[in-house]
Amino acid sequence: MSDTHAQTVGYVRDTMIDEQPAPVGQTGAVKWIRENLFSGVINTLLTVISLYVIWVVVSHLYPWLANSIWDAGSLTECREIRDATVGPDAPAACFAVITDRWQQLVFGFYPPEHYWRPVVALLVFLAAIAPVLFQGIPRRALWLSAAAPFVLFALLWGGSIWGPVAVALGFVIGFVVYRVLLPLAGNLAAVLGAIIVPLLYWLFLAGPLAGALTSVAPIGLEYVQSKDFGGFTLSVVIGVSAIILSLPLGILLALGRQSNLFIINKISVAFIEVIRGVPLIVWLFTASLLLNYFLPPGTNFDLMLRVIIMVTLFSAAYIAEVVRGGLAALPKGQYEGASSLGLDYWQSMRLIILPQALKISIPGIVNTFIGLFKDTTLVVFIGLLDPIGLSNAIRASTDWNGVYWELFVFIGLMFFIACFSMGRYSLYLEKKLQREHR
């Protein structure tokens, strides 16, 4: 005979049990500490060792930071101040190098009277991506976002505004060609036309057109050369351009890799594997050295532009693989559901497949972007003055010869803020989509 009523036959509960608090000692901080830090010999040992390591790090770092000196004109001056206040040999960070040189770290050799331009450009950029990143902003704002790249170019580089306008016109031409050819010649011809016609236009017509317009109406900001870009401006311009360009390219490559069309499939696979299989630094050297041999003599193809293209291609290959994973994770039924309703290939991709595949891929995509952004520091090896390059330059001056950690801490912190924000945004997006779709 069982001793609980529930196990006997014919039992009926007559009173319901009220909710009761858990026994004391089973909740709260004490329980957490006991369970997570001291739940056994090994765990206790690990806790003690970790505490020791933390102590060592903090005991060295803290005085260094606490004694830091923010106002000095050179490292020697820093040392004098330190000797006077906390005594010789005391650890003291000399962040005065940042207060003295932050403009260089942020803007590179951008003309100081034009520092407002990168700042405004950053604001324009943030305004332009807001409707993409967050819902609740009218969808029509996306058209302004599409125009943003050209505005940003005109702001950052300056020169006649007709250059960017002429380039933008190419996209309009492509769109018109597609629309005109679609009913006449079918999808494939329209797509080819929309690629070839603008290319021809850019190669042969855009330059003269911009020139003619400039001679008629010379408006625009003062021209700033690419070689004057540096510091975080350079990193952000390269990173953001590559991020924005590599996402659509990566998606197209992923679709290409999935495609049944033999040539498109093989081209995508070859592209992805070749680009991914070679280190980025090699591609950057290729961009800086080799491309000169392939380009017609006399053409002065901007080094920064070359770097942007290379970084874009590089991360596009990674994005493609991430997105491919997302595509593969979708059940076949989604493709069939879309086809059975009569949606054509691009419609099913755009409306059904990609929204879901990209949602799955968000962590991987953002991960790739974070990697890309940090990899922009590699451009120092081909002579571009990113923050690392500038820190070398700053150290080369007699004033700041010998400053290492302070510069790196600052640069690291800036990168951390940017990358951490991206990571947080990715989490926000994942959560939001999760909420919406379940």
Partner 1 sequence: MADPAIDANVTPPRMEVSEEIAVQITDMNKWYGSFHVLRDINLTVHRGERIVICGPSGSGKSTLIRCINALEEHQKGRIEVDGTLLSSDLKNIDKIRSEVGMCFQHFNLFPHLTILENCTLAPIWVRKTPKKEAEQAAMHFLEKVKIPDQANKYPGQLSGGQQQRVAIARSLCMKPRIMLFDEPTSALDPEMIKEVLDTMIELAEEGMTMLCVTHEMGFAQAVANRVIFMDQGQIVEQNEPKEFFNNPKSDRTKLFLSQILGH
Q: How far is the CB of 303 from partner 1 (least distance, A)?
A: 42
Task: Check residue 150 and give left, alpha or beta (phi > 0: left; psi -120 to 50: alpha).
Answer: alpha
Query: Does 336 engage in binding with partner 1 (CB under 8 A)?
Result: yes
Pick between residue 13 and residue 438 the one whose CB is nearest to partner 1.
Answer: 438
The DSSP call for residue 85 is: H
Distances (CA, A) of 306 to 12, 59, 62, 434: 80, 46, 43, 39
* Range in contact with partner 1 (rule: CB under 8 A) among 89-97, 142-150, 201-209, 337-345: 337-345
Closest CA to 239 of 323, 125, 157: 125
Q: Which of 120, 343, 419, 422 binds partner 1 (CB under 8 A)?
A: 343
Q: Rounded to the nearest 10 degrees, what angle do helices 405-437 and 96-107 cross at? A: 60
Residue 16 — φ and ψ, nearest 5°? -85, 150
| Residue 218 CB coordination number (10 Å) | 10
Q: Per CB under 8 A, does 179 bind partner 1?
A: no
Q: Closer to partner 1 at the Cβ: 18 or 436? A: 436
Non-local CB neighbours of 223 within 8 Å, separated by 6+ positions: 157, 158, 159
Residue type, 142: L
Residue 352 CB, nearest distance to partner 1 (Å)? 6
Minimum distance from CB of 403 to partner 1 (Å)? 52
> What residues contact residue 214 under an 8 Å CB cut-off, 6+ apart?
160, 162, 163, 220
Q: How far apart are CA 136 and CA 128, in angstroms?
A: 14
Contact by Cβ (8 Å): 224, 111: yes
Q: Are 386 and 304 in contact (CB under 8 A)?
A: no
**438 binds partner 1 per the rule CB under 8 A:** yes
Binding positions for partner 1, 365-394, rule CB under 8 A: none
Nearest to 397 by CA among 129, 73, 49: 73
Query: x-or-dash pattern for partner 1, window 187-226, by CB under 8 A?
Result: x---------------------------------------
Query: Rule CB under 8 A: is residue 79 a binding residue for partner 1?
Result: no
Closest contact distance (angstroms) between CB of 327 and partner 1 is 14
Q: Which two tokens stand for residue 154?
A: 């005109």
Choose between 217 and 341: whose C-beta lies nearer to partner 1: 341
Closer of 111 and 355 to partner 1 (Cβ) = 355
Residue from 334, 381, 422, 425 binding partner 1 (CB under 8 A): 334
Number of residues that bind partner 1 (CB under 8 A): 23
The position carrying tokens 């790739």 is 368
> In whole angstroms, how close is the CB of 223 to partner 1 at the nearest point?
46
Rounded CA-CA distance 194/292 in Å is 29
When the beta carbons of 203 and 341 are compared against partner 1, the nearer one is 341
Residue (122 or 357) nearer to partner 1, CB: 357
Looking at the Cβ atoms of 83 and 336, the one nearer to partner 1 is 336
Do 377 and 390 touch, CB atoms closer than 8 A?
no
The residue among 108, 83, 78 whose CA lies nearest residue 96 is 78
Distance CA 182, CA 191 (A): 8
Letters for 344-363 (x = contact with partner 1 by CB under 8 A, - = none) are x--x---xx--xx--x----
Q: Of 341, 413, 417, 427, which lies in the binding site for partner 1, with binding defined by CB under 8 A?
A: 341
- Which of 186, 402 has the CB closer to partner 1? 186
Nearer to partner 1, 173 or 181 (CB): 181
User: Among 6, 59, 333, 396, which residue sits at the site for partner 1 (rule: CB under 8 A)?
Assistant: 333
By CB under 8 A, is residue 185 in contact with partner 1?
no
Name the nearest CA neighbour of 325 among 272, 275, 387.
272
Q: Which is nearer to partner 1, 197 or 343 (CB)?
A: 343
Segment contacting partner 1 by CB under 8 A, of 118-126, 135-143, 269-277, 429-437: 429-437
Nearer to partner 1, 133 or 341 (CB): 341
Among 348, 351, 373, 379, which Cα is nearest to 425's? 373
Which residues of the chain form contacts with partner 1 (CB under 8 A)? 187, 331, 333-334, 336-344, 347, 351-352, 355-356, 359, 433, 436-438
